[in-house]
Amino acid sequence: MSNDKRHMNTLRWLLIVPLGMAGLAVGILTILFLQSVAMWFCPAELVISGACAASWHSAAEKVAMCVGSAIGAAAVVFLPSLTAPRSRQLVAVVAYCLGAACAISLLVVGGALFLLPFSSAIAGGALALWRVFVKQGAKMPPNLSIELTSDGLFPLDAAHVKR
């Protein structure tokens, strides 16, 4: 491998973490943008001290949180896997697990207030994870259930059998 290619691979590995954080920033900026759009539609007579008092505004803020959470989670999974020089599926799984851990911590701290954005983030990240696996032409992770396979073996045992 040439030095240029080695340096490029090193750079791509180093960019994985910043791009994961950039995915988080994409989600936050999406939420802020959508909340601003909702504020633009608020009638002037219903704006009190910079907050919209329209009956629909609370629902619009919840939708903005859910959409931004899903887009951010998808970006957290997809951007690092797109940058990785190899093992893209593993990078996507690790990014998804780390993002899910962050989402769970927000759910624990925020309680029911974050239930919908949490669900959206988990779904958005899972969709991006699925996309990475499909794009790479591989099957989804193996069946780890306790059901027997067609040849009477447990799925984990079947993986170790030479064919």
pTM to 2 decimal places:
0.77
pLDDT digits (tens, 9 = 90+) for 133-142: 987 765 555 5
**Tokens 């994409």 map to which residue?**
26
Q: Which band of pLDDT confidence, cut at 50, 70 and 90, is reported for residue 158?
A: very low
Strand partners, 52: 47
Question: What is the model's pLDDT at position 128?
Answer: 95
Q: What is the pLDDT of residues 83-133, one digit of tens each?
A: 998 889 999 999 999 999 999 998 999 888 889 999 999 999 999 999 999
pLDDT digit string, tens, across residues 23-65: 999 999 999 999 999 999 999 999 998 899 999 999 999 999 9
Q: What are the DSSP calls for 42-102, one per residue?
A: S-GGGEETTEE--TTHHHHHHHHHHHHHHHHHHHHHHHHHHH-SS-HHHHHHHHHHHHHHH
